[in-house]
Amino acid sequence: MSQRFDATRPDLELAVIGSGIMGRGIAQISALAGIKTLVFDTNQAALKEAHEELCSRFDSLAAKGKLSPDDTAKAKNNLRMVGDIESVRTSHVVVEAIKEDLDIKRKLFANLEAIVSDNCILASNTSSLSITAIQAGLKKPGRFGGLHFFNPVPLMKIAEVITGHLSEEWIADGLTELTNRLGHKSVRAKDFPGFIVNHAGRGYGTEALRILGEDIAPVQVIDDVLKATGFRMGPFELLDLIGLDISHTVMESIYNQFYQEPRFRPSAIAKIRMDGGLLGRKSGRGFYDYGKDAAPLSREKSRDLKVDESFWIERSDKQVSLLITKLGGKIASRPDAETINVVLPIGKDTTSTVAQLQLNPERTIALDTIYSLEKHRTLMTNPATNKLITDKAQSLFSRDGITTSIINDSPGFISQRVQAMVVNVGCDIAQQGIAEPTDIDTAVTLGLGYPKGPLALGDSIGPGIVLKILEELYDFYGDPRYRPSPWLKRRAHLNMSLLIKHNR
């Protein structure tokens, strides 16, 4: 407990400024946590609507049996809408969730600091503004910090606690204790664009857009592959859910705040679609069609072909040999004029592998072995692969009912390059000391819903393999977007977990 702030005190009073989407969510968890919660908004109609909505949320929790009648009454009782900002005078902490505008926020905090006591913590829920820039406008900037919740607040059980360069030490502890009292998990971040979650999220969508932009695979195939690797939603499903108006704007904002860092480079495809109003679910059409006349999604069916050819498999890979045999295929011990050659590149494309192994390009196809072959399979052609060879390979690999997608040539297929980017961005957050490794992974699993944090994901693939994928991508494209983070390089070379900061 900080000497200046005690989040556990029974009479804790929290003021929420702004009663929009986020303010309502913060007020809800605060009132439910037994905290006296004041809500202020300059818009009286918004304030009234927020009160009605919060009371109806409590009633609906009660109707579902999640809240006792007594606790429902207490939550309602804890909530007080105030029409005058002077009413927050007695609050121990103020969380601001108003318009995302530096000048407006600075004005509000200048006003607040003249009202509240010296020990009252002032916090902003900003997503994209610098905490240091907001606090710089204060007479006493030390008691200011960021407390970044996610929408919908009651369900997204995580908040980033951000200290600005002018924050005093007790602020991080105070906001962490407050987050715990609100029933959320807290992670600590330094004041960097995107903090942890919005920064770590840059790898997934931008790389998927690059794959689309290079005509490697259509949207649905990219989504299918990444869901098979464990992501709950495909990148294009996610872009459609959030809306390109928000996602593309965030992509541009983070890219520019990091002075055109190539790892975060947005996509022209997203900009054109955003300008065209193809925003996603909210506009009825995005990467997918949500209109009432939209045709149901159908996956291209593989043809059922007789496959007499034997399969030569790179490195005589046991797993792939067993699979082909199980599917009724024959194995050849060396490639010849009759075989279908299956190469298994890590980070390389099919063409480079064909050249390296001096194979017949027309009879060669690549298989991605980095994710489970029991969920989905990716076969990758090269520009010279014979169509009948492709069809026969697809026919054999999908014989047990597992969807087998054909994609065009790409270093690192789809899954390797997207996962490597996600891991690399996470590694660079650790390298910059923005957050502790475990906090990075916690923030990403709870804030983005990824199955694993980027560092644990890198450990499960193998840091050496992730490094190889990135080095191959970098070599192929010559694009600094793919340069491996020093954090990854060192741990891969030392065969160490990406979650270890120092072994001391």
Ligand X SMILES: NC(=O)c1ccc[n+]([C@@H]2O[C@H](COP(=O)([O-])OP(=O)(O)OC[C@H]3O[C@@H](n4cnc5c(N)ncnc54)[C@H](O)[C@@H]3O)[C@@H](O)[C@H]2O)c1
Task: Summarize as ranges the residues that interact with ligand X (CB under 6 A).
Answer: 17-23, 40-43, 46, 97-100, 104, 108, 125-127, 149-151
Residues 393, 406: Cα–Cα separation, whole Å: 10
Q: Which residues of 437-450 are buried (b: 16+ CB within 10 A; e: fewer)?
A: bebbbbbbbbbbeb
Cβ at position 171, least distance to ligand X in Å: 19
Q: In angstroms, give the least distance from the CB of 93 to ligand X.
A: 16
Which of 13, 96, 160, 177 is catalytic? The answer is: 160
Minimum distance of ligand X from residue 500's CB (angstroms): 31
Active-site choice (19, 30, 91, 127) = 127
Whether 127 sits among the annotated catalytic residues: the reply is yes
Backbone angles phi and psi of 146, in degrees to 5: -100, 140
Is the separation of the CB atoms in 93 and 174 below 8 Å? yes
List 330's β-bridge partners, or say none: 310
Q: Which is nearer to ligand X, 8 or 151 (CB)?
A: 151
Active-site entry in 198, 267, 398, 405: 198
Of the pair 207, 439, the CB lying nearest ligand X is at 439
Direct distance between the N- and C-terminal alpha carbons of the chain, in angstroms, rounded to an integer: 28
Q: How far is the CB of 431 from ligand X (least distance, A)?
A: 25
- Least distance from ligand X to the Cβ atom of residue 46, Å: 4
Q: Which two tokens stand for residue 400?
A: 């047990």
Nearer to ligand X (CB atom), residue 39 or residue 429: 39
Count other Cβ atoms within 10 Å, centred on residue 289: 14
* Residue 198 known to be catalytic: yes
Contact 145, 120 (CB under 8 A): no
- Measured from the CB atom, is 52 or 304 closer to ligand X? 52
Q: How far apart are CA 253 and CA 259, in angstroms?
A: 10
Q: Of 24, 13, 32, whose CA–CA distance to 184 is shortest?
A: 32
CB of 146 to ligand X, least distance (A): 10
Which element (helix H / strand E) includes 15?
strand 13-17
Residue 402 · residue 376 · CB < 8 Å:
yes
Which member of 148, 184, 248, 376 is catalytic?
148
Tokens of 322: 């067993």
CB neighbour list of residue 87: distance below 8 Å, 6 or more residues apart: 38, 40
Q: Which residue is nearest to ligand X (CB)?
A: 20
CA distance linking residue 457 with residue 425, whole number of Å: 12
Of how many residues is the chain composed?
A: 504
Q: Which among 266, 124, 187, 80 has a CA at the least distance from the CA of 448?
A: 187
Alpha helices in 33-168 (DSSP H): 44-63, 69-78, 102-113, 131-135
Looking at residue 70, what DSSP letter applies? H
CB closer to ligand X, 100 vs 169: 100
Give the residue carrying structure tokens 């592959």. Answer: 225
Helix, strand or coil for residue 235?
Answer: helix
160 catalytic? Reply is: yes
- CA dist., res. 278 & res. 268, Å (int): 14
Least separation in angstroms between CB 72 and ligand X:
24
Q: How far is the CB of 149 from ligand X (least distance, A)?
A: 6
Q: How far is the CB of 2 from ligand X (least distance, A)?
A: 25
Nearer to ligand X, 18 or 426 (CB): 18
Closer CB to ligand X, residue 67 or residue 134? Answer: 134
Instruction: Show the DSSP H helices in 81-234 as ranges.
Output: 102-113, 131-135, 169-181, 197-200, 202-213, 219-228
Q: Which among 254, 258, 251 is positioned nearest to 235, based on CA atoms?
A: 251
Nearer CB in complex with ligand X: 158/172: 158
**Residue 67: strand, helix, or coil:** coil
3-state secondary structure of 182: coil
Report, as residue numbers or ranges, the catalytic residues. Answer: 127, 148, 160, 198
